A and B are shown apart, each in its own frame.
Chain A
Amino acid sequence: MIAELGLAALWMAAALAAFQLVAGAFGLTQRGSSLGSAVRPVAVVQGLLALTAFLCLIYVFAVTDLSVKLVALNSHSMKPLIFKIAGAWGNHEGSMLLWVTVMGMAGGFVALVEKRLPEPTMLATLAGQAFVSLGFYAFLLIASNPFERIFPVPAEGNGLNPLLQDLGLAFHPPTLYLGYVGLSIAFSFAIGALVTREVGPAFARAMRPWVLGAWIFLTIGITAGSYWAYYELGWGGWWFWDPVENASLMPWLAATALLHSASVLASRNALRAWTVMLGVVAFSMSMIGTFLVRSGILTSVHAFAVDPERGTFILALLAINIGGALTLFALRASTVTEGERFALVSREGALVFNNVMLSAILGIVLFGTLYPLLAETMGAKVSVGPPYFNPMSALFAVPMLVVLAVGPLLRWRRDRFERIGKALVIPAMLTVAAGIGLLAIGGVALLPFLGMALAAGLAWASVLPLRERNLRRTPLPVWGMVVAHFGIAVSLFGMSCESAFNVEKLVAVKVGDVTTVGPWDVKLDSIEPVAGPNWTALEAGLLVRYGADGAVSRMTPQSRNFWAPPQQTSESALHTRWNGQLYTVLGGEGEDGRWQLRLWWKPFVPLIWIGGLLIALGGVLALLGRVKSDVRRLVAKDKIAYRHERKAQLRERP
């Protein structure tokens, strides 16, 4: 019953999206202007209906209604409740439903709150949003109905991939989706602005909070996904340039560029066409990412959806949306002027440089990710991995990081290096000092060397915009920028340290044996069987000590056997100190009764994710600042209107 309710809600939401599209389009014409007033309420109801459908799906998963095919295929009655719920979006259909839900809710929210733009632009924006949504509704209802029933009802479900039965992963996809789909709003705003030729600061200000919000979720999603891969997959790596990882990185790169160019458009009315273009590109990257992951075109650790028919459907959606938007852009680009001019040495100049570099990195990641697929259609298989992506992206990332140290100190429009040169002496010296220090240590490869040296200078330079400011009066967005840029330095330092100073040890030991890895002594104290709700495991008790006289701690890596579905995983155990992490994995038992241990000492590795969180925190601060000033403006406007009204009333009363 609940499943049918969900399906009905989904059909109604799709119908409303169609109506929203038609009403929005007609609302723009003279004759249909009365239809226009229906668009905003329809957008809100459409979002709520999608949410209803999604809640229905969560319900059937929570109670393990095995008569629903999706539940039978992906869930199991013995699973902990939290993973039953997370199972609702841990599969293809459910995640697509989550996608349209977020999209509908975001559209509804925009319809409710955004009052700054001219009404025709809003109509075009909401019609654009409805157009994109409609494609995804069609995809769900035609090619991947999540509420399909199954008969006969199976006695038990298939279970969820054990790798996915992890809290981190339960919330990783929704976070990324919020980011992916949040960018659809930027896309729709760009469409709306192009259709009505209203590309200006107001458009950038309306779009900016949405881009910021989406970007925050993407940042958190990528950071969390990287940490998940690090501790769950049990090989101690945190980024492998896997196509699925790239699929989340590409929208982030585009959104980062968009964020910066939108701030130029908002405050200086420059870079108009470029910002609109990035708005289109950012969401296109989200769709390409979804296509790559969801179509099963990649066969990798992450790609757990394999169905070519669906791939074709998404590809068609992709072609229609991206092709349509680019055509519109080409038609209107000539009427969008570039806007205000500025000198090379200026805030805008630095931001343009940042944008060009980010776009180039985006181009490399996109091409490197797609090329193996292209080569395969030409009948050859090639692999493109870290040895390609690392140096190629560094080619553009290094100059960008240098400009990142300088740019925030520059004034808008025109500036001179002499004015800020003095402030940059210390960061430059830090970079050189770090470089000399690393040369003295020796044996550090070029990229980690550059990374650590730049990180040292950048960490200092990133807080320089706060100098000569009253800290209590510094606007939140400035704080946000400083925190995010500092986060980049922190993360960069962690990444470089990890690749330069990582120590690995593979040993086979008997219970009671002591081995060493880096500065650690590790003793295999015990091997014991343990059991969980849907698995059994062998658990190693490791006694670890940092240095000769450190405190002894106990670590318990496990080798787990899940029984639904039957699969073996290794649960790593981590021990964190201020200066790094000890990473331990239990392997198999040898014939001579010795146990395989895989140990890593990873200096400063947590900084990678701490930096990522700082970057996201910077985004949150900036978003709070923007929303605060928007609200203040709205309140002020209301007050003024109220005062006018009172005056008019007083005048009327003789």
Chain B
Amino acid sequence: MIRLPVLNTPVPHMLALLLMALLMALGLATAAPLMAQEEQSTAPYAYRQLDDPAKEEKAQALMETLRCLQCQGQSIADSDAPIAGSMRSLVRERIEAGEDPEAIRRWLIERYGDYVSYAPRITGLTWPLFAVPAALLLLAFLLLRRRFGGKPEQGEGT
């Protein structure tokens, strides 16, 4: 088992890598979203699970809700793109270091924006996403009440 380097050092490299991949993705992704599978990420935990099953499960759950910035329609857990591999490695390393999954999510959102997370937060921009189900709930309740409540059993006569 390789000793992990101090966690903060690989991050700037990774950042540069991520940014580069992001720039490439913006240019290429529309033309060929599927093409970029040729090379694989060489980050240490891109294709390796954590030894502790509990931690791996945590990491897996988080990775399934993070978006691959290159292929756009997949989570980083599902994507074969190099950038997804690097992000997987980053998530696993930070989970291994004992960081909270939601803190990692916040860290990623801070850097790549809300786009990177499939679990929308409640913000000035996304509140309608949560208001609409609440409104639907209310509407459903009102509809059903109007249909059935209120009037005493008068359904006899047609």
**Which A residues contact B (CB, under 8 angstroms)?**
161, 163, 233-235, 237, 240, 242, 244, 298-303, 306, 340-344, 349, 352-353, 356-357, 359-360, 363-364, 367-368, 371, 375, 378, 380-388, 392, 395-396, 413-414, 504-506, 508, 567-570, 587-588, 596
Contacts and interface: CB of A to CB of B under 8 A. Distances in A.
A244 B125 CA distance: 24
B148 A385 contact: no
Nearest to A380: B125
Contacts of A306: 30
B92 to A, nearest CB: 11
Contacts of A359: 140
B110 to A, nearest CB: 14
Contact of B119 (A163, A302, A357, A388): A388
B129 interface: yes
A300 B30 CA distance: 9
A383 B116 contact: yes
B47 A506 contact: yes
Nearest to B157: A341
Given A363-B132, A367-B132, A504-B60, A382 B75 contact: no
Contact of B33 (A233, A299, A360, A382): A299
- Top 4 nearest A-B pairs (CB, nearest first) are A385-B118, A300-B73, A387-B119, A235-B78
B155 A414 contact: yes
A300 B72 CA distance: 6
Nearest to B114: A382
B100 to A, nearest CB: 16
Nearest to A389: B118
A360 to B, nearest CB: 4
22 contacts: A298-B73, A299-B29, A301-B71, A349-B148, A352-B144, A353-B144, A360-B140, A363-B136, A367-B128, A371-B128, A380-B113, A380-B125, A383-B114, A383-B115, A383-B120, A388-B118, A396-B137, A414-B155, A506-B48, A568-B38, A588-B40, A596-B47
Contacts of A384: 118, 120, 129
A396 B33 contact: no
Contacts of B153: 343
A382 B119 CA distance: 9
A386 B63 CA distance: 12
A375 B125 contact: yes
A344 B148 CA distance: 6
Contacts of B126: 371, 375, 382
Nearest to A413: B155
B113 A381 contact: yes
Interface in B90-146: 113-120, 125-126, 128-129, 132-133, 136-137, 139-140, 143-144
B120 A301 contact: no
Contacts of A298: 73
Contacts of B113: 380-381
Nearest to B61: A445
Interface string B23-46: 000000110011101101000000
Contact of A352 (B40, B74, B118, B147): B147
Most chain-B Cβ atoms within 10 A of its Cβ — which of A340, A359, A381, A570? A381
A482 to B, nearest CB: 26
Contacts of B40: 587-588
B34 A356 contact: no
A299 B132 CA distance: 25
Nearest to B147: A352
Given A240-B73, A386-B118, 12 more contacts: A242-B73, A300-B72, A301-B34, A359-B140, A364-B136, A380-B113, A381-B114, A383-B120, A384-B118, A388-B119, A567-B35, A570-B80
B29 A382 contact: no
A356 B140 contact: yes
B158 interface: yes
Nearest to A393: B133
B136 A386 contact: no
B85 to A, nearest CB: 11
Given A371-B129, A382-B126, A356 B155 contact: no
Nearest to A504: B60
Nearest to A301: B73
Contacts of B139: 360
Contact of B144 (A161, A356, A363, A381): A356
Given A235-B74, A357-B140, A360-B140, A163 B118 contact: no
